[in-house]
Amino acid sequence: MSIESFYEYPTGVALSRFLEGLRLGRLIASKCSRCNHTVIPPRAYCLKCYRPIKEYQIIGEEGRIATYTRSFTNIEGKPANPPVTWVFVKFDGVDGGLFHILDPSIIPQTGMRVRPVFREHRIGSILDIKWFTAV
């Protein structure tokens, strides 16, 4: 049996704000107007008190590497040349974080301050961030 199916996903209420932010070169988090809990990527509901989110906020783009890894294979299991460094970046005062690629010229360290490098041509995608680089 062979079935070809494609999938289309709506980005929804919260992530469409996030992606529009990326298009404009900004990082957008959701902020609860009741308990102030702030999360990136944004949610449509508060993860602490479960009220609907009414506020979306631009956050400071500088974060720190919470953890990282270096991949020597690509998604097909073939050698990645050059190897890719993946980082998990947390932002001050914001819950959650972003997973992305690290500038290959940087040697990563936990706690290192990093910032996103936005592409010149942006379309509202997570790939509008080229990678994170050292501050």
Interatomic CA distance for residues 83 and 28, integer angstroms: 30
**Residue 74 near other proteins by CB under 8 A:** no
Contact indicator for 84, 105 with CB cutoff of 8 Å: no
Where helices occur in 24-119 by DSSP H, the ranges are: none
Q: How far is the CB of 123 from other proteins (least distance, A)?
A: 18
Residue 47 or 106: the one with the smaller Cβ distance to other proteins is 47
Residue 94 or 112: the one with the smaller Cβ distance to other proteins is 94
**Residue 75 near other proteins by CB under 8 A:** no
Residue 48 or 113: the one with the smaller Cβ distance to other proteins is 48
Interatomic CA distance for residues 2 and 57, integer angstroms: 45
What does the DSSP 8-state code read for residue 12?
H
Binding mask 18-47 for other proteins (x = CB under 8 A): -------------------------xxx-x
**Residue 17 near other proteins by CB under 8 A:** no
Interatomic CA distance for residues 85 and 69, integer angstroms: 6
Positions in the binding site for other proteins (CB under 8 A): 1, 3, 5-15, 43-45, 47, 50, 52
